[in-house]
Amino acid sequence: MFEQLRRTAMGGKGALILLAIVIAYAWIAVSGPQGLQALLQKRGEIRQLQEQNAELTREIEHRRDRIRRLEGSRSEQEMEIRKQLKLLRPGETTFILPDGPKESDPTPAANETK
């Protein structure tokens, strides 16, 4: 009977030790470098990269459409060439306008109140 009581007591201690090891392992798994925080960070990075990928896909499609338009229209080709090389036909006049004020630089008139 004493032997059975001793085994039960050792079994209880063994179970507590095993439980402590499991809890320690779970704590390390959740808070360690490969834990929950890292998982959430990786998911955020994945979401950001997916958004960038979608934006690049839209940009590629926009450029493909532009190429198709240029391939299909001589007038579009001529306009693009003239624009890039800044060429004029005889008798044409080009007006070069200054860029508008930047939004980050407030103008004095914008600061006045009536």
Q: Which pLDDT score is estimated for 10? A: 57
Distance in angstroms between the alpha carbons of the first and the last residue of the chain: 100
Gap between the Cα atoms of 35 and 58, Å rounded? 35
Q: Which pLDDT score is estimated for 30? A: 78
Q: Which pLDDT score is estimated for 4? A: 58
Confidence band of 99 (pLDDT split at 50, 70, 90): confident
Tokens of 72: 């299909």
Share of the chain above pLDDT 70, in %: 81
Indicate whether 114 pLDDT > 50. no
Q: Which pLDDT score is estimated for 11? A: 62
Q: Which pLDDT score is estimated for 107? A: 54
Range of 1-15, 19-33, 41-55 with top mean pLDDT: 41-55
pTM of the model: 0.49
Mean pLDDT, rounded, of the chain: 81
Looking at residue 35, the DSSP 8-state letter turns out to be S
Boundaries of every domain in the chain: 1-31, 39-89
